[in-house]
Amino acid sequence: MWTMAGQKDAWDGFYVRNGRAWGGNTPLPECVSGDVLDLGCGNGKTVSSLLGRGCKVTGVDFSGVAIEMCRERFPDCAFVCCDARSLPFADSSFDWVTAVHVLENLDGDQLSETAKEIGRVLRPGGSVFIRMFTANDFRSSKRESQQICYTFHDGPSIENAFDGFLVVSHLVDEKTTRFGALRSVREIILRKST
């Protein structure tokens, strides 16, 4: 059984060993704009994409190592080290929340608690963009042996956790790599009611 403290230590260790593990920019839907909270900002890959669109970005991660990396890379943005289940922001603070490859690191109860916090910090009519690996992704079996927890939530589990949100779009994108492996990613946009 894993604990949040153990997960924090595992992610801190990951960033110490790997630095900027993910390069480039994160592809995002065109509609993401305004004041954006990047949940689980990691090394800033999504932050970079958001800034390129002119968004005002605040990043959060529970890895202090990741937060320090982002503060060095993006000195004009705010970064906070915190647990996604207890966000240190006022109600209705953001137009968008991006959660790119972060919700699969939460179990079912943690997912529900995080979804409630996302709903609390979103403005009425605000939206959340979620991207996560599915269990079909070629890397999924490799993750089972790592110290970092992965839970491959199915579509109904995500939609149920965000009870009261409107499903704007929900798709699973599966592509075969040039090496014959299957890349499988779930992408969901949910809108908070007004």
Q: Which CATH number fits the domain that encloses residue 75?
A: 3.40.50.150
- What pLDDT score does 6 carry? 67
Higher pLDDT, 119 or 132: 119
User: Residue 10 is part of which domain span?
Assistant: 4-16+34-191
Q: Under a CB-based contact definition with an 8 Å cutoff, are residues 118 and 161 in contact?
A: no
**Does residue 105 lie within any of the structural domains?**
yes
**Does residue 47 lie within any of the structural domains?**
yes
- Please state the pTM of the whole predicted model: 0.88
The domain tally of the chain equals: 1
- What pLDDT score does 17 carry? 72
**Does residue 28 lie within any of the structural domains?**
no
Q: Tell me what the pLDDT averaged over the chain comes to.
A: 87
**Does residue 168 lie within any of the structural domains?**
yes
**Does residue 24 lie within any of the structural domains?**
no
**Does residue 187 lie within any of the structural domains?**
yes
**Does residue 130 lie within any of the structural domains?**
yes
**Does residue 8 lie within any of the structural domains?**
yes
